[in-house]
């Protein structure tokens, strides 16, 4: 028992540098996933949210990945990579006796980890098993970071399309309210004037009304445009 306690206080004996590296990679990845989902759901402050904040009620990493599957951002084949990454993370975080990737692989039946990494990342093949598994893990992490970034690009593209549609719809409303209808009124006014035999003084009055209306239209349009920009932000 004393020997085990002595070992537990030895950072090198339990390869804490490797454990720290695995933990930091997993924390960074989960934060990235949480950020994208929060953005997609229009959650203004992620750290204060129930589902993505730091409370015990927050969604687990697996639940967040399942949410991405449900909304069509991930397929089940790609999800296997996230699952394998988190399996590796959990083994290093919860089993003190797993100190290397080779020991991690040995905890799987039939070297399942090694087979998975070589199948998906053949460039990691190496005569040294530890180096091979380390390289495979690095490639796995890089792969799912890129996949997660692509999810973010999809979300941004969707938001841009929605924003574009919103702007187009807003401008259509403005055009009808501040251009089509007023110009219809101007045309009616003009037709009425041309149909009469009033003197030139009436012409002056009509032109003054014409320019007054145009100035009012310009001012109203500018005000509405500023309001629209405020709503977009």
Token readout for 171 is 């401008």
Local structure of residue 14 (DSSP, 8 states): T
Q: What is the pLDDT of residue 180?
A: 58
The pTM (predicted TM-score) of the whole model is 0.62
- At 56, is the pLDDT very low, low, confident or very high (cuts 50, 70, 90)? confident
Average pLDDT over residues 143-170: 70
Quick check: 143 pLDDT over 90? yes
Quick check: 210 pLDDT over 90? no
User: What is the Cα–Cα distance from 21 to 28, expressed in whole angstroms?
Assistant: 11
- At 218, is the pLDDT very low, low, confident or very high (cuts 50, 70, 90)? low
Q: What is the pLDDT of residue 100?
A: 92
Residue linked to tokens 């070297």:
111
63 backbone dihedrals φ, ψ, rounded to 5°: -65, -35
Local structure of residue 73 (DSSP, 8 states): S
Average pLDDT over residues 89-117: 90
């Amino acid at each position: 028992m004393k020997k085990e306690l002595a070992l537990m206080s030895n950072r090198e004996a339990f390869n804490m540098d490797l454990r720290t590296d695995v933990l930091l990679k997993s924390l960074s990845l989960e934060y990235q996933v949480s950020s994208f989902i929060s953005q997609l759901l229009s959650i203004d402050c992620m750290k204060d949210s129930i589902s993505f904040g730091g409370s015990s009620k927050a969604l687990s990493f697996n639940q967040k990945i399942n949410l991405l599957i449900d909304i069509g951002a991930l397929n089940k084949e790609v999800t296997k990579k996230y699952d394998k990454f988190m399996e590796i993370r959990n083994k290093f975080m919860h089993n003190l006796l797993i100190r290397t990737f080779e020991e991690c692989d040995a905890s799987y039946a039939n070297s399942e980890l090694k087979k998975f990494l070589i199948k998906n990342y053949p460039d990691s093949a190496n005569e040294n098993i530890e180096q091979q598994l380390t390289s495979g893990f690095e490639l796995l992490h890089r792969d799912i970071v890129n996949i997660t970034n692509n999810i973010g690009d999809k979300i941004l593209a969707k938001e841009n399309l929605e924003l574009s549609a919103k702007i187009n719809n807003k401008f259509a409303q403005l055009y009808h309210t501040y251009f089509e209808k007023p110009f219809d009124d101007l045309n009616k006014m003009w037709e009425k004037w041309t149909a009469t035999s009033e003197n030139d003084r009436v012409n002056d009055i009509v032109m003054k009304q014409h320019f007054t209306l145009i100035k009012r239209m310009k001012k109203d349009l500018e005000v509405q445009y500023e309001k629209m920009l405020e709503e977009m932000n």
